[in-house]
A and B are shown apart, each in its own frame.
Chain A
Amino acid sequence: MDRRVAIKNLALVLGGATLFPKDMLAGSSNLIQLKNVKITLAQEKLLAEVAETIIPKTTSLGAKDMGLHLFVLLMLDDCYNKQDQQQFTEGLKQFAALAAKTSAKPFALWPQAQREALLLTFENGKAGTSELNAFYRITKDKTVQGYTQSKYFMTKKVVYELIPSRYNVDVPVKTNNTAVKHG
């Protein structure tokens, strides 16, 4: 298949449990075409690593497998205002610089624990610059949303029922741990 067509198709099925062949992520042009936000190939790849740090591949799929960073970018491009978009791209730039300053090794090659430690400094929104915090918040929120609202998660990890066909009240609770059911 023509690479451009392949990429276009991937973008179309972004929400699903799209399995991204490794060579796609190692490709030489951006996987997503944006209307408003400008992202370099290097930045897109770094974002993929940040998303993978948030939702790593374990015994189950991770962010890269599902292309979650592309969902982050799609939402950023279509649903956020200019100010948020500027904060995000500036924050992404600052994040790349910070990572480079922290270690000579590329962020992608850091151990998971070290990558997590860096991200967690922004978790409460107080440590970094406003741009870094905005970048982290948007990336985290949309990565989590992309994950929890993916076909993979909603069919394999929890139960989503389009048709519950029931409304039961006074259902006894055995434990407070609940399988997610929509509704």
Chain B
Amino acid sequence: MANLNIDSVKERTFDAIVIGSGISGGWAAKELTGKGLKTLVLERGRDVKHGIDYPTTNMYPWEFKHRNEMPLSVREENPIVSRCYAFHEDAAHFFVKDKEHPYIQEKPFDWIRGYQVGGKSLLWARQTQRWSDFDFEGPARDGFAVDWPIRYADIAPWYSYVEKFAGISGNKDGIAELPDGEFLPGFPLNTVEKYFSDHVKKAYSNRHVISARCAHLSKPEPIHFEQGRVQCQNRVLCQRGCPFGGYFSSNASTIPWAMKSGNMTLRPFSVVQSIIYDENKGKATGVRVIDTNTKEVIEYYARIIFVNAAALNTNMILLNSTSNRFPNGLGNDSGVLGKYVAFHLYTATVNADVDGYTEFKTEGRNPAGGGYIPRFRNVYKQETDFLRGYAAGLGAYRSTHTDSSGVGSKLKDSLANPQLGGWRVGSHMMGETIPKESNYVKLDKDQKDQWGMPLLRISVDYDDNDRKMTNDYLEQVGEMFETAGFKNIRKEITQGKAPGLDIHEMGGARMGHDPKTSILNKWNQVHTCNNVFVTDGACMTSTACQNPSLTYMAFTARSVDYAVSEMKKGNL
């Protein structure tokens, strides 16, 4: 170390360190600074300031050189990220390019990353559904992974807490398997979505079609104005960054809030190499950072550390944090670290045409995307030959048809006069996967990246349960469409889609009761290193089928509350 004098150490000492500034790191920063802790937030990428660093946000379609299409050379150089639905000219600058950050695929895995302040919170699909006890009790009931050390009652007040601040739109639907939250008004279902919802209610006792719940300010409250955010303008250009703060991102919400407290130091361009463990104290004392520009190694110190680097990167940091006490990675006495990685099945769609309702159309855009079908399979009891179940997105829209045949003035006329066509309806599957020991990440022994970090080896694959579930989705949603009278039903398995593209990778440092089979306790606290907390996707014991971000936010706020109260008691 170049700087060992006492002043320098003092300058590099904080009450808390947060590794990562994405959706959960931003929450850790907000909560810690809000409780008065001097907090260092480390981000491996560049800074992205709300409103200022959204270069494409107000661009018109004709202002994109290739009308938002990625040039072939970019796609060929970056086959992985090019498979992501949102990788276009308007948002490409928020995605990691393949070559800059290599990893090793023992099996095909499309790892989509956003290395900047705000992380993937700039890019997420903003769907926010709570878990229920049908999810938290899943592993225990169905005999996989390990039992969650918490139940819905533990997390429910924290869901409320984060929902109020983030701003979640939705309706009180009164469905036990998808608990209601603190909602701003929901976005409405359109004519055909409503028809389908009514049909499903009549035809099935336990199935529902509701307005998708999402992190958009449909009707902001004072707490949102206080953040400098205003009503969602229904642009649905969210992946560019929203100058209105119409949807929740770390950049629009938690990071500036933490900054305003005066207690946050934000350090971009900082790859965390490892967490420093002090054998005498039996605690972590800080983190070792590599400045990505100068490659200088700098140590920072704090009493507590929150690891929020995104699921697989959090695994990487913990695995790389070795010491005499923890030769296999921090907190990894059990050997479980990096294992039981799971994800979500986004492997199938059902689409159809709809007769009728042509006396109606919609105007504007729906940021919620349409409807949501909560999980209905194996909820109250096991009823199929696969474990767990799936949710589904559901959207209907009125097609428009532009006659682009011919040439000349006739063509010009028809291009300027598109005709309304019939309604179409579509659904996509979001399935739970079973965490397995054989789905793992680990560090490569030899290969390193340009900062000297070992490359991550990813070995994650589908299994029979996934295939059976995918087929059941096609069958069941196909049947729901059929009984609704939809026409020309097209059931498709998305061919060649590797795990990872769901961008819901989870696990590796799972929570559990027992240090012998899990890394974290019920407070997201490393069992055997009690001043380190993991509250991003790495902590997930199972995956349920809800979009996970809201749960990470709630875990984070709850865990910070616990950590700070333990500090006050002198236990940390």
Give me the interface of A with B, judged by CB distance under 8 Å: 14-16, 53-56, 58, 60, 74-75, 78-81, 112, 116, 119-120, 123, 140, 144-145, 147-151, 153-154, 157-158, 160, 162-173, 176-178, 180-183
CB pair B362 A15 closer than 8 Å: no
Stretch at the interface among B158-166, B186-194, B469-477: B186-194
In the assembled complex, the Cα of A79 lies from the Cα of B72 at a distance in Å of 5
B222 on interface, CB distance cutoff 8 Å? no
CB pair B420 A15 closer than 8 Å: no
B382 on interface, CB distance cutoff 8 Å? no
B residues near A53, Cβ cutoff 8 Å: 407-408
CB pair A154 B61 closer than 8 Å: yes
CB pair B65 A74 closer than 8 Å: yes
CB pair A15 B63 closer than 8 Å: yes
Residue of B nearest to A63 (CB): B412
A residues near B366, Cβ cutoff 8 Å: 167
Residue of B nearest to A168 (CB): B363
Other-chain contact of B67, A149, A168, A180, A181 (Cβ < 8 Å): A149
A residues near B361, Cβ cutoff 8 Å: 171, 173, 178
CB pair A81 B72 closer than 8 Å: yes
B378 on interface, CB distance cutoff 8 Å? no
A residues near B64, Cβ cutoff 8 Å: 15
CB pair B415 A167 closer than 8 Å: no
* Chain B 189-204: CB-based contact to A (< 8 A → 1; otherwise 0): 1110010000000000
Other-chain contact of A56, B362, B400, B412, B419 (Cβ < 8 Å): B412
CB pair A160 B364 closer than 8 Å: no
Q: What 9 pairs across the A-B complex have the smallest Cβ distances?
A: A183-B365, A164-B364, A166-B364, A15-B62, A169-B190, A78-B71, A167-B364, A168-B363, A176-B420
Chain B residues 151 to 210 lying within 8 A of chain A, measured CB to CB, are 187-191, 194
CB pair A170 B191 closer than 8 Å: yes
In the assembled complex, the Cα of A165 lies from the Cα of B420 at a distance in Å of 22
CB pair B58 A164 closer than 8 Å: no
> Beyond the given A140-B407, A149-B61, A167-B363, could you list 4 further A-B residue pairs with CB under 8 A, ordered by the A residue number?
A15-B67, A55-B411, A167-B234, A169-B190
Other-chain contact of B187, A144, A158, A164, A167 (Cβ < 8 Å): A167
B404 on interface, CB distance cutoff 8 Å? yes
CB pair B415 A144 closer than 8 Å: yes
A residues near B380, Cβ cutoff 8 Å: none
Other-chain contact of B417, A58, A140, A144, A177 (Cβ < 8 Å): A177
A-B contact pairs, 9 of them (CB 8 A): A15-B62, A58-B412, A123-B405, A148-B402, A170-B190, A172-B360, A176-B358, A176-B419, A178-B418
B residues near A171, Cβ cutoff 8 Å: 360-363
In the assembled complex, the Cα of A183 lies from the Cα of B237 at a distance in Å of 11
CB pair B66 A151 closer than 8 Å: no
CB pair B358 A15 closer than 8 Å: no
A residues near B412, Cβ cutoff 8 Å: 55-56, 58, 60, 147
B389 CB, nearest partner CB in chain A, Å? 29
B residues near A176, Cβ cutoff 8 Å: 358, 419-420
